[in-house]
Amino acid sequence: MSVKKRLGLCVVLLSLGASLLPYGNAWAQLGGVDAEFAGAGARALSMGGAFIGLADDSTAAEFNPAGLQILLRPELAWQVTHTFDRREEYLPLTSPTGRGLESPDQNEWTTPSFVSYVHPGQEYTWAISQLTTIDFDHHFSDEARNRLLVSDTEATNNAFGFSVATDIKPRLHLGVTLRMNRFDYSYEETQTVDFKGSITERTGYREFSDWSPSFNVGLLWRATEKWSFGSVYKSQQTVETSDFKTRLPQTFGLGAAYHPNDELRLLADVDYITWSDFDSAPGDDFHRDDVMRYHLGGEYLFRLEEDRAWFIRGGYMREDSNALFYNG
C-alpha cells in the first residue's frame, strides 16, 4: 500500500459546474486540473514517476504495459491516496469593499486509487487493473453582508483496464492496455439572500455519468544488460452528455533506464500532454497549452543479508503549467 500526499491543482471541475448551472460564478473558470496521468505505485512515484524505461513491476499496466512481459511470477499491487487540496480561493462576495479577496482554503479526502493483478505466461502476460485518474471533492463558501453562496463539487474518473504483453523479439516487448472509463460528476450550488429580513434561497443541482473507452500502448527495448528504453502512448478519453462534451488529454512518453551494476538504477522520462484537447467550457475564450513533463529518479539496493535488503529511492518531477489562459 502507498499513501500519496498531493498539493492540489484540482479546481477545473468547478468550471464544469459553473458552465452547467445558469447562475454559475466566474471564479470557477480559472482553475487547473489534477489527474493521475503520471501512473501509480509508491515505488515509481517515489522515483519522480520515471518508470517508462524500466516498467518491471505490476504498475507497468499504467506506466508502460510492455514491461509486464518481463515479470516472472504473479503480482498484486494496490494503493490508497490521501489528498490535501490547498489553494488561494477567490471570494468575490467576502470583502468590505465589494471587490472580493483571496483566502486560503483546504479540502482533504482519502480514496482507494489503484489496484492491479498480473499473471505471467510463456508467450503472453495479462493483467487487470483499476486506476482513479480524477478524484475531486471540494466544498466552497463565500459570504457577504446579506448573501451566502455555498457549493459542493464531486468528480471521479475510474479507468478499468485489461492488459496484454508479448515479445516481438527476445529483448523487445509490446504491451496494450484496453480501458473502460467511468466518469461521475455532481455539482450543487445554494445561494441565500437576506433582503430586508426576507430570506430567499435558490438551489441548483447537476449530476451526470458517462462510460467511454481509451487505450495505452507501449514498447520496451532492453538494448543491453545496462540500458533499456521505453515508449508509451495514452489515448484521449471523451466525456459526453446530451449537452456537454470534452476530452481528457492524450499523452506521449519516452523513458530510459541505466543499470551500471546490480545495486543502482538511474531513470529519466519525458511526457508530452495535450491539454489543449481539454475544454471544460466549450465556446468561451479560455484555453490551455500542451505541456511537457520531466521525470528523474533512481534507486539503490543495500544488501543486509542474503534474503534481506533495503532500497533507497528518490526522484524529481517538473511539469509546465496547464492553467487556463484568456484568449479573447
Residue for grid cell 482533504? 108
- Residue 197 near residue 238 (C-beta atoms within 8 A): no
In angstroms, what CA-CA distances link 321 with 29, 88, 160, 221, 292?
16, 16, 28, 31, 9
Running DSSP on this structure, what letter comes out for residue 35? -
Q: How many Cβ atoms from other residues are within 10 Å of residue 292's Cβ?
A: 11
Q: Which amino acid is at 26?
A: A
Query: Looking at the chain, how many residues does it have?
Result: 328
- pLDDT at position 152 is 82
- Bridge partners (DSSP) listed for residue 220: 173, 230
pTM (2 d.p.)? 0.77
Helices (H), the chain: 12-20, 42-46, 60-63
- Residue 192 near residue 143 (C-beta atoms within 8 A): no
- pLDDT at position 285 is 66
Distance separating alpha carbons of residues 207 and 90, to the nearest angstrom: 24
In angstroms, what CA-CA distances link 128 with 48, 98, 139, 207, 218?
24, 54, 34, 29, 16
3-93+107-323 belongs to which homologous superfamily? Outer membrane protein transport protein (OMPP1/FadL/TodX) (2.40.160.60)
In angstroms, what CA-CA distances link 316 with 219, 294, 295?
23, 8, 6
- Bridge partners (DSSP) listed for residue 142: 149
- pLDDT at position 315 is 95
Distance separating alpha carbons of residues 32 and 142, to the nearest angstrom: 20
Q: Pick out the chain residues at pLDDT < 50.
A: 1-33, 97, 99-101
- pLDDT at position 26 is 30
Distance separating alpha carbons of residues 291 and 235, to the nearest angstrom: 16
Q: Is the dihedral of CA 46, 49, 52, 57 positive or negative?
A: positive
Distance separating alpha carbons of residues 95 and 160, to the nearest angstrom: 45
- Residue 165 near residue 68 (C-beta atoms within 8 A): yes
- With 0-12 CB in 10 A as exposed, 13-18 as middle and 19+ as buried, what is 141? middle
In angstroms, what CA-CA distances link 91 with 85, 192, 282, 291?
17, 16, 24, 29
- pLDDT at position 198 is 74
